[in-house]
Structure 1
Amino acid sequence: MRINENTLLEGKCVVLVPYEREHVPRYHQWMTSPELQKLTASQPLTLEQEYEMQRRWREDDDKCTFIILDKKRWADPCVPEEDCMVGDVNLFLTDSEDPSLGEIEVMIAEPDNRGRGIGKEVARMMMCYGITSLGIHKFEAKIGKENQVSLALFQKFHFQEVSYSEVFQETTLQLRIDEEQEKRLTGDGSFMEEKNYRETKAAIRREPSGHSC
């Protein structure tokens, strides 16, 4: 999605950045994992197909994707951005007749970063971005039967089960955003700051004078 091609969202523990070509090799490596394929209901792609997917997702109007970076590691100019990657988060506009509906997906791909509350922070950040920048007022999440961690995550945000597919063995959860829900999610806005991605990257990750990595 073009709207977020130069958007950076900074939270307490993570930074969300646009999905760039430099992220593709690590993302491709993640998706060779049978565990992640199963949890995300994904099929393995070749590296060339992954590059094409990244390009199309960047241009499609119905897909908003951010790569999740470890904020502490990203602040170190000696650590390549690819090595700061933790996972990704997506919003899919799945209903052309209802642009206020967004399907959210959160993937924490790096095992060492699971169980640290990152998924909860990322989900909140993405939902707030969806509300304020994309006009989303109803969120949907489709969770595989065995993915109890993701199911518990969205239930913490008061998502309610609306259906279960025996064929795909997945539960569909929904959350309608009313005034009270929006206030609970956004709070005073201090938990997240939106910045210019390229300007921030150039300023923060520039090698300090006289410093060698």
Structure 2
Amino acid sequence: MRLNQNVSLLGKKVVLVPYTAEHVPRYHEWMKSEELQRLTASEPLTLEQEYAMQRSWREDADKCTFIVLDAAKWQAQPGTTEESCMAGDVNLFLTDLGDPSLGEIEVMIAEPSCRGKGFGTEAALMMMSYGGVTKLGLTKFEAKIGQGNEPSIRMFQKLHFEQVAVSSVFQEVTLRLTMSEPERQWLLEQTSHVEEKPYRDGS
């Protein structure tokens, strides 16, 4: 999405940066994992296909994508490459043409050493605040998660999402959060520390 291609968001545990060509090789390595393919319902792509996907995601008006960086690694020494600090990604899909106020959120912490540290929780909160409350005017969020992915289901439940559907065909659970005014205030409080900064253009 062009909206976020020049924006980075700095949190406590994670930094969100636009998905650029620089990130594709590491992302491609992650997606060779059968576990991640299963958890994200993805097919393996060639490296060329992954580059094409990255370009289309940047252009598509209905996808907002950030790469999640480990903030501690990123800030530890100047000149550290983003690729060496990558932890995962977070996406917001605006795919319900009948309801422009609904966004589907996905979070993937792909780097095993970065799991269980709250990275996914902070990345989700930052994306909901950025994509929902401040930039895209979303008032409803959905997350579709594989039935076996207990950590993700628990994480979204902690973020006030409630289960609304189970699909035995796709073996996934749909959770939803509707932003009432108290929820909106809660979200803004949770992300009050986040700084938005210009991002160097990295196509």
TM over 0.5: yes
- Where 1:198 maps in the other structure, the secondary structure is coil
CA distance in 2, matches of 1:187, 1:119: 17
**Alignment partner, residue 84 of structure 1:** 85
* TM-score with structure 1 setting the length: 0.91
**One-letter code of the match for 2:68?**
I
CA distance in 2, matches of 1:74, 1:173: 32
- Where 1:38 maps in the other structure, the secondary structure is helix
Aligned-residue Cα RMSD (Å) equals 1.4
2:161 to 159, 162, 173: 159
Say whether the 8 Å CA contact 2:68–2:89 is kept in structure 1.
Answer: yes
CA distance in 2, matches of 1:14, 1:157: 17
**Alignment partner, residue 6 of structure 1:** 6
Structure 2 spans left out of the alignment, 5+ residues: none
CA distance in 1, matches of 2:128, 2:45: 28
**Alignment partner, residue 174 of structure 1:** 176
- Equivalent pairs counted in the alignment come to 200
**Alignment partner, residue 198 of structure 2:** 196
**Alignment partner, residue 104 of structure 2:** 103
Deviation, structure 1 residue 198: 1.4
Say whether the 8 Å CA contact 2:129–2:191 is kept in structure 1.
Answer: no
Q: Percent identity?
A: 63
CA distance in 2, matches of 1:119, 1:155: 13
**Alignment partner, residue 184 of structure 1:** 186
The one-character-per-residue Cα deviations of 1:143-198 (angstroms, maximum 9, x if unpaired) are 10110000000000111111111110000010000100000011185321111011
1:143 to 125, 145, 160: 145
**Alignment partner, residue 206 of structure 1:** none
Moved more, 165-174 or 71-80: 71-80
**One-letter code of the match for 2:37?**
Q
CA distance in 1, matches of 2:86, 2:43: 21
Structure 1 spans left out of the alignment, 5+ residues: 202-213
* TM-score with structure 2 setting the length: 0.95
Q: 1:115 to 1:188 in 2, by over 3 A?
A: closer
Say whether the 8 Å CA contact 2:90–2:106 is kept in structure 1.
Answer: yes
1:55 aligns with 2:55: yes
